[in-house]
Every structure is written in structure tokens, then in C-alpha cells.
Amino acid sequence: MASLRLFSTNHQSLLLPSSLSHNPLTSSSPRFVKNPIRRSPIRSVLQFNRKPELAGEKPRIVVITSGKGGVGKTTTTANVGLSLARYGFSVVAIDADLGLRNLDLLLGLENRVNYTCVEVINGDCRLDQALVRDKRWSNFELLCISKPRSKLPMGFGGKALEWLVDALKTRPEGSPDFIIIDCPAGIDAGFITAITPANEAILVTTPDITALRDADRVTGLLECDGIRDIKMIVNRVRTDMIKGEDMMSVLDVQEMLGLSLLGAIPEDSEVIRSTNRGFPLVLNKPPTLAGLAFEQAAWRLVEQDSMKAVMVEEEPKKRGFFSFFGG
């Protein structure tokens, strides 16, 4: 059975450094910057024929943020979280969006959310009663921070999440391997609350200039707050538009933001279907391109690795004369 044999290394890149001396976002250079310098081919690619080994300290507290809304934070949280659960890691996903709760919808668990973090703080229930365990993968749990009509007490936001994370670390069944926090859009109180307990961040962006500007701003805030391990996922990539130079390539986005690449998710109409059905994309059989990309991103997240090569669409191979007859 053929498999994607891409070998991961944590070694430094073998590429030659490019000459970058000014801010690419504020310079007057054209938007779509193409790097004309040819690089030597990279040998290291990602390895898929083994279970990923957990790197870093447990639990890994990851916040998924973007700044701009609608780029795919919640979708990324759901799919990456379930991919991690499929790999065998225990995952707790926290929907830190106050007032606009969506993560439970994507996971298909909206009817099972009875208690939220607000009820835990108020003493209406315990923390383990507020955790919703996914029946498909028992090592995946969801915690919503509040219901749409209930409010989190002012000033408690960041502290409440810190208490939650501490409580999860010391729970009787053991600390989870991953705590993934779905951050709300914007950079206001909700964002500040969500990033409080995080050690690392995944920045989700799309290859358009508005999302890039917001992503750059959010990256600056995260670095000011002390989060240095920031990786990027480029979502909704259209390889046909990149070929026609109507969209920035993944490498262009990386060059503008200067962040390590965790994954490049292609545009896929299955995302909408999976959202409406409450069935995450990574569970589809057969898997879609976007689902495969999410799995690969989860694999790299576990090993604290980043992409060393990007897939660029090419023309299909030319067939021989006799293929006309065979089809």
C-alpha cells in the first residue's frame, strides 16, 4: 500500500538565506512577492508510517487564534483536536468564545452541552460534569466557557481559564496530553482571556491581505504576552488561483509573516458539509484533501515540527498515444 513517505527532521533548513531587510507589509513592493532565487531541493519531508511521539511537556496548552474572523479557527480546532485523539492522545478542547459558541456545533455535540465553565465557577456543577466526552473518540472532551445567555464575571476571564487548566492537570484520571483553546475573533477581552494560560499558539490565516495584516498584529500581541512558539496554518488555499497568480502562494504568506508553517489546508467544499452535519472532516471516509492536510498538521503539532516543503499543483502527466484508446 502506497503511503506518503515524508521524513521529518528538526534540523535546520539547508536553504540559502534570502536578502530580507525591510518590513514586507509596509514597503511599497508589489503584494505578490515572488522569490526568483532557486533553492536546492529539500530532502526532508514528513513521515507518516509511525505514530507521532509527543514532544514538549505535558499538557501542551495550545491556543488557536487568527485575529480576523471567519478564517477557520473553529474548524481547525475541531479537526486538529479529533486528529490528535485518533493518534491516541487525550485532548480537551475549550471553546473560549463568550457569547458565540460554535465548537460544539462542528463536533455535533450541541445537544449534550448542559453545563459550561460559568456553571462551574458559580458552583452549579463540578468540572468533570461540565466536560462533554465525544462518543466517537472517548479520549476527546469538550468544555464550553459559557452559554449564549450567561456571562462570565468581569475580571475572571483569564484567571478562570488558568484555574481550569490547573484543575485539568490535577484531575484524578490524569492530565490530558493536549488542551486546545479556540480563541474568539478580535483582540479584545475574549482574546486576552483565551491566550492567558497558553504556552504555544497556532495562527490561522488565509492567503489574502486583510487576514495577513490581522495575523501579523495578533502575532505581535502574542509575542508581547510571552508566547514565542507560534506556528501558522494557511487555510482555504486555492492551488488553481495560485497557478493563475490571483492568490498569494503559501510560501509568499510565510515570507510576509515570518512564521513556521504547520499546515496548508486546501479549499474544500466538504468543510461546509461537515460543519452542517456536525461531522468533522477528518472522520470522512474516504478522506478529503483538507482532511489529510489537517491530519498532517496535527502530526507536526505533536512532534513540534514544521513543514519543510509545500505541495504545488502541477499539470497531470502526459499520457502516451495508446492511452487515447484506453481512457
Query: Residue 51 CB, nearest distance to other proteins (Å)?
Result: 7
Stretch that binds other proteins, among 3-11, 57-65, 104-112, 207-215 (CB under 8 A): 3-11
The strand pairing partners of 63, in sequence order, are: 181, 201
- Is the CB of 104 or the CB of 119 nearer to other proteins? 119
Judged by CB under 8 A, the residue of 10, 114, 122, 276 near other proteins is 122
Stretch that binds other proteins, among 19-27, 102-110, 133-141, 200-208 (CB under 8 A): 19-27
294: closest CA among 283, 282, 302, 306?
282
Judged by CB under 8 A, the residue of 223, 245, 276, 277 near other proteins is 223
Judged by CB under 8 A, the residue of 105, 110, 156, 199 near other proteins is 156
* Rounded Cα–Cα distance for residues 162 and 94 (Å): 12
Cross-sheet strand order for the sheet of 91-95: 132-133, 140-144, 91-95, 178-182, 60-65, 200-205, 229-237, 260-266
* Rounded Cα–Cα distance for residues 128 and 170 (Å): 12
Residue 236's CB is within 10 A of a number of other CB atoms, namely: 22
Judged by CB under 8 A, the residue of 68, 231, 236, 308 near other proteins is 308
H/E stretch holding 189:
helix 189-195
Judged by CB under 8 A, the residue of 143, 203, 257, 302 near other proteins is 257
| Number of residues in the chain | 327
Judged by CB under 8 A, the residue of 220, 245, 276, 277 near other proteins is 220
Judged by CB under 8 A, the residue of 141, 177, 295, 305 near other proteins is 295
Grid coordinates belonging to 66: 487568527
Distance of CA 219 to the CA centre of its chain: 14
* Rounded Cα–Cα distance for residues 237 and 126 (Å): 42
Query: Residue 18 CB, nearest distance to other proteins (Å)?
Result: 6
Residues 20 to 49 in contact with other proteins, rule: CB under 8 A: 20-21, 23, 35, 39-42, 45, 48-49
Query: Residue 86 CB, nearest distance to other proteins (Å)?
Result: 6
SS (HEC) of 254-301: HHHHCCEEEEEEECCCHHHHHHHHCCCHHHCCCCCHHHHHHHHHHHHH
Stretch that binds other proteins, among 53-61, 63-71, 160-168, 203-211 (CB under 8 A): 160-168
Provide Rg for the chain, Cα atoms.
21
Give me the 186-215 binding string for other proteins, x by CB under 8 A, dash otherwise: --xx--x-----------------------
* Rounded Cα–Cα distance for residues 80 and 282 (Å): 8
The strand pairing partners of 234, in sequence order, are: 205, 264
Stretch that binds other proteins, among 63-71, 80-88, 135-143, 200-208 (CB under 8 A): 80-88
Number of residues that bind other proteins (CB under 8 A): 99
Residues 56 to 75 in contact with other proteins, rule: CB under 8 A: none
